[in-house]
Structure 1
Amino acid sequence: MPIVGWSENHTQRTASWRAENGAPPPRDIVVIDDDISADKALRLARSGTGMLWRGDFHNARQLMRALDRRLKKRASRAPQAADPGEGFHANRRARAQRAAILGAILIELEHDYTIRLRRAPDVRDACRHAYGQPSSDGNGAAGEETLVSLPELLGVISAYEWHRTGIEIGALGARIHPAHGVFAPTRDEYIDLVADAPWPPGIHQPVVWDIGTGTGVLAAVLAQRGARHVVATDINPRAVQCASENMDRLGIADRVHAVEADLWPAGEKRADLVVCNPPWIPGRPTSTLERGIYDPGSDMLHRFLSELPIHLTPRGEGWLILSDLAEHLGLRTRDALLDRIADAGLAVIGTHVTTPRHPRAADSADPLHSARARERTTLWRLAARA
C-alpha cells in the first residue's frame, strides 16, 4: 500500500493508504475537526486535499451528509441529457466526482484497526473481515496505522453487517451471507427465474456449472432443486471463499464445489447445464464490487457465449440471465445480442422474463428512471445448434 504523510502538532506523521476502489492517495492532507464548516470542507475536497478527521466520529458522518446534500442540490440543477446513453455516462461521471469529494474525509485506523475518536464504533471485526488480519513488521511487532476514506469505512461496516445477518432468499428458504467485495443477491427476481425454469428435457439430475457464482446463491438453488453435482466458478478469490462458506452453512458442500477460475472450471469435461448471470452493463468497473455490474466491452458475456457450445453435453443447455437495462440506455441492442448468440452456434430454445422488484426501479428521482422503469430480466435458454 502507498505511504502518505502529513503534519500534525508540529510532527511529521505517516500511514499506509488503503482504497479498495483503487483511488489514489490525496496530494495533500490537512487535519480537521468538528469546527470545520461544510462549505470549507467542500472547497478543500474539490482542491484534491484529504481531510484527516480528529473530531467526534458521528460529526464526521454529519459532515459527509452535508457535503452530499450540497452535491445533490447542484446535480439537480444540471440539465438532463436527452439521449439515454449520454445520461448514463453523465450520471457515472457525477457519481465518480461525488465519490472523490466524499472520499476526501479520512479516518485513521490504528495498527489493530481501532479508531481513536470520540463515539467511534468498534470496527475491528469488520476490518478484519474486509482487509484480513492486521499486518506486522515481520517480527511480530504491530504494523503501522492506515488511512481510509470515511465512505469506504462505512461500506466495510455495512458489508460486515450483511455478512453477519445474511440475506433471506425466498427460493432457498434460507439466508445467504455475502462477503465484503462480493456482489450481494439483493435483486432476487433473477433467482426466482433459475428456481422455476425446467431442467433440460430428459435430464433429471444434471451436472451443473455456475459461472461467476459470487455468493453462490444460484449454485445453492440448483443444488437444492436436485442437481447431482454443481461446480461454481469465480475469478474473485473472495467470492470463491464466500460461496464455499455459504455451501457449508446450507449443508450442501458435498454437492457444490466452488473453484477460482476465469469462467470455465479446469479439469472438468462438460455440463448438462451451464448457468451464467454476467454483469449486465458494458462499462469499466471502479471497484471490486462493481465487477458484478459492469463488464468492459461485454467481454465476459461474449466469451461465455462463444465458448459455451464446447462445454455442453449433447442435450445440455446454457442459461444466460441478463437484464436488458443496457438496451434501454443505448449501450447494447437486442439484435447485437441475438447476433452474438447465433454467431456462437447457439439457438434460443426458450425465454423466461421477469420485472425487477428492486427499489430503484420505482424511484422517479433516479436519473436513469426512464430506462429502469422499462427494464426486464430474461433467462435465455440456449442450446448448441445441430
Structure 2
Amino acid sequence: MSEVEIRVEGACGRLTLNRPSALNSLTLMMVRELKAALRQWIEDPAVEFILLDGAGERGLCAGGDIRALYDAARSGRLEEAATFFREEYELNSLISSYPKPYIALMDGVVMGGGIGISAHGSLRVVTERSTLAMPETRIGFIPDVGGTFLLARAPDELGTYAALTASRLGPADALLLRLGDLFISSNEIPSMIAELALCRTALDAHELLLNKSAAPSPGSLEAERQWIRRCFSRQTIEEILNSLDEETSDIAQRAAAEIRKNSPTALKVTLRALRDARHKADLGYSLRQEYNLAMACLQNPDFLEGVRAALIDKDQQPRWSPDDPARVTGEQVEKFFQNHEFPPLNLGHTYSQRGVSGDNRRNLSRGNYG
C-alpha cells in the first residue's frame, strides 16, 4: 500500500499521509508522490481544491524521517540527505504558491516537516488535539521547511520563543503564531471531510469550513506576550537567557531551562537565521538559506549527538560541543551560512495563490478569515 493515498472525491483532491506507525513521518518517496499529485492537479479542471490529512489517530505528520537522515550523515552519504532536503523544500515552495486552495488538516501532532507541508497552505485547520512544534534545536538542528520564514513573522517574538525553547503549541497558540487559521472541533472532522467531497466549488468548501469553525479554548501564550517580547527581542542567546533569568514568572524560568537543554550551536544559528528571515520578503530566500544550514548541521557533531540522545539511546542526555552558548564563536556560526557544495534548490515556477483569472477556481486565502 502506498504511503500517500491520492484520490479525487468530487471537486476535492485528497492527499492522506499513510504511515501511521511512524506518525506519518515523511520519506523521500512520499515527498515525490505529493509533488507529482499536486503538479498533475494544477491543470485538472475537475479538481477545485486540495485537502491534506494524515492516517491514524495520532497526528498529521511528525516531520521528516530523522533516523534516515542520521544514518546518512553518520555514514557520510551526504548527497542522499541533500536530495531529501532539496525535494522536500521544493514541495514546501510548491504548496506556498499553489494556484488552487490547499486546505491542511493539522489534527494531532504536526512537527518539523509536518509544518512544512501544512503551514504554507492557503487554509490551515487546527483542532483541540493539535500539537504544533519546530523542535529542531533539541537535536542540534535548525527550524527548516520554511520554519524560519514562518516563525520570524509571528508577532511579539513568539516565533523566536517557539524556536529556541522547542515548545509545543496547542491550537490557540498556533493561531496566535499565525501557523493556523481556523479551529474546528475534532468531532466535526469526519462530517467535514464527507461534506467537502460533496462541494462543487472551492467557494462551497470555504462556506462549509467557516460554518464549522469555532473559538478554541485559551492558550498559554497570550498572557505572556509582554515578557516574551521583552526577553526574546535581545540580539544574542546569552542576552536572551540573562533577560529570562531576571523574570520572576515560572513560565519564563521554564523557558530559560528549556533553552539551556538545547544545542548551543543550533540555538545561535537559529537566532541568526530568524533575524535574517525577518528582513526578507519571500519564502524562497529562507528555503535556500535553510538548505545550506541543514547540510551544515548534518556535518556538525551536535546533530549526531542530539539524535543519539533523543532517538537512538534515548537517554535524553546530549553532550553538546561546545556546551555553552558563550563558547560558540561568531566565526563558528558564520561557517554555517557559507555556501556548500551541493546541487542548488530549484524552486521553479511560482503560482499566484489568488487563483487563475477567468475560471471558477476560488481562493481560500488565510487573509479571507481575518
TM over 0.5: no
Output the TM-score relative to the length of structure 1.
0.27
| Greater relative contact order (Cα < 8 A, sep 6+) | 2
Higher strand share: 1
More helix by proportion, 1 or 2?
2
Larger Rg: 1
